[in-house]
Amino acid sequence: MSNKALVNLNTGLEDAESVTVALLVAVAAAEAGRETRMFLTKEAVRLATGGVAVGTAPASGPSLPDLLQRYADADGRLLVCPVCFNARDLDEEALLDNAQITGTGPLWEWIGDDDVTTFGY
């Protein structure tokens, strides 16, 4: 069994249900003790900045701020695509504490020769 989990998310709040499902999967992996990373691309990069991931989707689900906090508390990391982040002219100072701008090279270094369970949303 893999000790690492990678969740690739390329959608933002325009598809809040996909964001919720991706966070639920990442939270479950991190809280189970797996070394977990979310690679945020396209509109998802906005979620790595403070005050963006707000609300609840679906209405009966957990709130996005709560999921992000649980993920951070379980040592989950947000890896933010630099090309996507810069294309949206976002402020690096607004990044969440567990977020870092990093490209695919460091992502592959993290993966290394290990088995990784992956999910894409």
pLDDT at residue 14 is higher than 70: yes
| 53 compared with 111, residue with greater pLDDT | 111
The residue behind tokens 């695919």 is 104
The residue behind tokens 């701008």 is 101
d(Cα 19, Cα 57) in Å, to the nearest integer? 8
Domain ranges in the chain?
4-106
* Orientation of helix 16-31 relative to helix 64-73, angle to 10°: 30
Count the neighbouring beta carbons within 10 Å of the beta carbon of residue 51. 8
pLDDT at residue 53 is higher than 90: no
Give the mean pLDDT of 39-59: 89
For residue range 65-89, list pLDDT tens digits in order: 999 999 999 999 999 999 999 999 9
d(Cα 47, Cα 31) in Å, to the nearest integer? 20
Measure CA 26 to chain center.
7
Which architecture does CATH list for 4-106? 3-Layer(aba) Sandwich (3.40)
pLDDT at residue 117 is higher than 90: yes
Q: How confident is the model at residue 32 (pLDDT cuts 50, 70, 90)?
A: very high
Taking the model in full, what pTM does it have? 0.93
pLDDT at residue 21 is higher than 70: yes
Average pLDDT of the chain to the nearest whole number: 94
d(Cα 93, Cα 90) in Å, to the nearest integer? 9
Q: Residue 57's pLDDT is what?
A: 73
Q: Residue 1's pLDDT is what?
A: 62
pLDDT at residue 10 is higher than 80: yes
